[in-house]
Amino acid sequence: MSSEEPAADAGLFDKVVNLCKRRGFVFPSAEIYGGFRSTYDYGPVGVLLLRNVKDAWWRSMVQLRDDVVGIDAAILSPPAVWEASGHLQNFTDPLVDCRSCHERFRLDKLDDPELCPRCGARGSFTEARQFNLMFKTQAGPVQDAGAVAYLRPETAQGMFTNFANVATTSRKKPPFGIAQVGKSFRNEITPQNFVFRTREFEQMEMEYFVPPEAATKWFEYWCQERYDWYVELGMPKETLRLRPHDADELSHYSTATSDVEFLFPWGWDELEGIANRTDYDLTQHAAHSGERLEYFDQVTGERYVPFVIEPAAGATRTMMAFLMAAYDEEEVRGELRTVLRLHPRLAPYKVAVLPLSRKETLTPLAREVLSLLQPHMMCDYDETQSIGRRYRRQDELGTPFCVTVDFDSLDDAAVTVRERDSMVQDRVPVDGVLDHLRSRLA
């Protein structure tokens, strides 16, 4: 990591938000009804990018390892789960109201705890009160205490409550992990910064169960492993840092936490937290449920409650960070070119098939090339506007390669393959284009 503190690019935020709307990455939810604050819909391109981020995480955390398995736990859960986890008592933010403009703020996020950032009034805040972030709802037709349920504020608890089930059925023994990708819900006081902090979001979490004496070693291992994941997928090291929490920042369950932070346009902010949760969660759930959540080592005869190392990342904010890290502008032949230099594994489309013209003579061959590639990679097909404009559109989508079918293709059975970053073009036989693209994308 760089020893010099890099500067945040304040103008980048508006450029990326504009690109997201214009090119179909992210739309404001319920926009035709005026929108609904802090909710967003992922468009045709955004849903592919978000899926690729989650798939890349899953590949790294589950597919390429033999010590981690996955689950998909329920979103709705009873109050007993959250009483045991401490969320009913501790999952709160300090809330203040401005008496002048009546806006609400998180006290711990104010630059000046005496100054309202909206109306400029000083000393106008009410006394802070604790505000629980969980969404409470009713399960079933009868609205009584027995029907109360909560939308999960994190995916972690489903992995803790299923510890015994997974350990038994998967025949794993510590150290081993349980991974999950899914929706979480938090009634944030001040949602902000586009999709960075919203009330509905997706998480990528893994609970890694280890012998207590090995917890520090595995905590350090996962801190480095998770930092390296972002670098390997193309984030510049100068935009990343691994920041240990101070003692007064630690959650009630943690003895050590470090955040992987990205340099957003507003400054450094969290992408992922890696925490040593000790045996807090398994011990709590065992005490509240009456079930034994421990591991018995048949070799040593030892019985113990494993410690847990938790890497927990936000899928939606990670997608946003990859967009910002990939965004670039350059002058090409006197014109400004915008390009997303996304890692091929993350790019929404791997290749775009572009017939040079909409003339019927080119369409059959272009469709043939598309059919050849589609079973193997996500493809786009575009036959409108000039070829130059279509190249620029694919550059903005982050598409690594464009395959152009022109009139010479009818004679030489070859196509032009254009690379996004260098704009270099190669002539490749149609029957060899799949192998060519596979090798380049690898």
Work out the average pLDDT over 153-160.
95
Together in a domain, 251 and 312: yes
Supply 390's token pair. 């279509």
Backbone angles phi, psi at 218, to 5 degrees: -75, -30
Together in a domain, 409 and 316: no
In sequence order, which ranges of 127-179 are alpha helices (DSSP H)?
156-161, 163-170
- Inside any domain, residue 372: yes
Rounded CA separation 117/290 (Å): 49
Query: Which residues neighbour 28 within 8 Å (Cβ) at sequence distance 6 or greater?
Result: 35, 36, 39, 40, 41
Q: Which pLDDT band holds residue 5 (cuts at 50, 70, 90)?
A: low
Q: What is the pLDDT of residues 312-332, one digit of tens each?
A: 999 999 999 999 999 999 999
Supply 191's token pair. 């949602």
CB neighbours of residue 322 within 10 Å:
26
Smallest CA-to-CA distance from 260 within 312, 320, 332 is with 312
The reply to whether the predicted model has a pTM over 0.75 is yes
Full residue range of the structural domain in which residue 381 is found: 349-441
Rounded CA separation 353/363 (Å): 11
Instruction: Give the angle 124-128-129 at the CA atoms, nearest 5°.
Output: 140
Together in a domain, 399 and 311: no
Q: Return mean pLDDT, the chain.
A: 93
- Inside any domain, residue 105: no
Together in a domain, 270 and 141: yes
* DSSP label at residue 195: T
Query: Which residues neighbour 289 within 8 Å (Cβ) at sequence distance 6 or greater?
Result: 80, 84, 161
In sequence order, which ranges of 237-339 are alpha helices (DSSP H)?
280-289, 315-326
Q: Which pLDDT band holds residue 1 (cuts at 50, 70, 90)?
A: very low
Strand-pair partners of 302? 297
Q: Which pLDDT band holds residue 129 (cuts at 50, 70, 90)?
A: confident
CATH of the domain at 432: 3.40.50.800
SS (H, E, C) 295-346: EEECCCCEEECCEEEEEEEEHHHHHHHHHHHHEEEEEECCEEEEEECCCCCC
Work out the average pLDDT over 64-86.
95
Q: What is the pLDDT of residues 136-149, one digit of tens each?
A: 998 887 777 678 99
